[in-house]
Structure 1
């Protein structure tokens, strides 16, 4: 596997290599390539902004961020983001990583679908979300050069139907626990994919229907 893409070098530590292997063995090609691209977009964003980020922590957050969508690491009742964060935390603990670093990676993964918050946090957290938003939503697309986009995608291709396919992956990862989409963007996924069965939670209805008398 190429070690340097678009001027960004992939961390080559024992924990980074083990993470790559675990994710490669667990995720399909679409999610694996997406996770790798998230690292490069996040790192390139960090370089462009002049941020002092830890490439290894960013790599771990990027690689594990969608593990909660897989059958092997999906819980019955937690948000998939939390499943991925918990998987990363357990993995990092097995390598005796500092608790503060584990917390940053956990938070980066747990918040990567919560817009408006991660960008104000430490670099690992902010750049993980930036990478996800670039790859899935195209946010800041034009802040990257054509050469950077082409180089990353040449080594980790977007499938011809990536937009539809990533939505389908989201749906399949959360369809058995629709209640976990309350208050987050994944409710839009089930509203699109399961319009006849999915009932979106309503914040105001919960307030008005609570046990409080007034």
Structure 2
């Protein structure tokens, strides 16, 4: 698998999603969102997983939007806040209700320990790709050359420290959230030892 073989969908919704992510995310969080899609699409291609590229791309661009100051919720976990924002975004994009719900589900499920690929291929791919990008999980599933090219084109820019700090903040304010659970179970150490940062 080569970087040039990864298909990035070009639709009004995908262009708007990257515009939103660029406007609100830090450079490190933006690159993380882009890499989340690239890892996911590459993994799907290498493992013959059929998926909706537009849905996955929009979900990838918006999956961490609930961590940024403007959209951070003090009442619900960040992934749920992001899912709600995605529902609104997709309504504005003219998507039918069922497709808006799917974007919300994919974003919420990216925090799950595992998502069934048969029931939700986009959720499975985003859960897998974000796990790789943040904690290095399943890095062996990606050719070293592909990893190097993606990281060269979309550098990490200190995402490990930024993300660990975001989760610490989420855990303090929302201790029953999945972010709180992650922090209590060694999240910072896993992020700090990510093979992608070596």
Gaps (5+ residues) in structure 1? Answer: 194-214
- Which residue in the other structure is 1:67 paired with? 65
Aligned partner (choices 160, 165, 178) of residue 162 of structure 2:
165
What is the CA deviation profile of residues 113-134 of structure 1, one whole-angstrom value per residue up to 9, with x for unaligned ones? 1103354532111111111111
- Which residue in the other structure is 1:177 paired with? 173
- Which residue in the other structure is 1:189 paired with? 183
Q: The residue matched to 2:156 in structure 1 has which SS?
A: coil
- Which residue in the other structure is 2:46 paired with? 48
1:58 and 1:128 in contact (8 A); partners too: yes
TM-score (norm 2): 0.85
Find the aligned partners of 1:105 and 1:47 in 2 and give their Cα distance: 21
- Which residue in the other structure is 2:14 paired with? 16
Aligned partner (choices 116, 119, 125) of residue 114 of structure 2:
116
Q: The residue matched to 2:15 in structure 1 has which SS?
A: helix
Q: The residue matched to 1:53 in structure 2 has which SS?
A: coil
Offset of 1:100 from its aligned partner?
2.4
More displaced 10-residue stretch of structure 1: 79-88 or 100-109? 100-109
Find the aligned partners of 2:186 and 2:115 in 1 and give their Cα distance: 25
Find the aligned partners of 1:138 and 1:192 in 2 and give their Cα distance: 14
- Which residue in the other structure is 1:85 paired with? 83
What is the CA deviation profile of residues 101-145 of structure 1, one whole-angstrom value per residue up to 9, with x for unaligned ones? 222211111111110335453211111111111111212201111
1:178 and 1:190 in contact (8 A); partners too: no
- Which residue in the other structure is 1:147 paired with? 145
Change over 3 Å in CA distance of 1:88–1:118 after alignment to 2: farther
- Which residue in the other structure is 1:94 paired with? 92
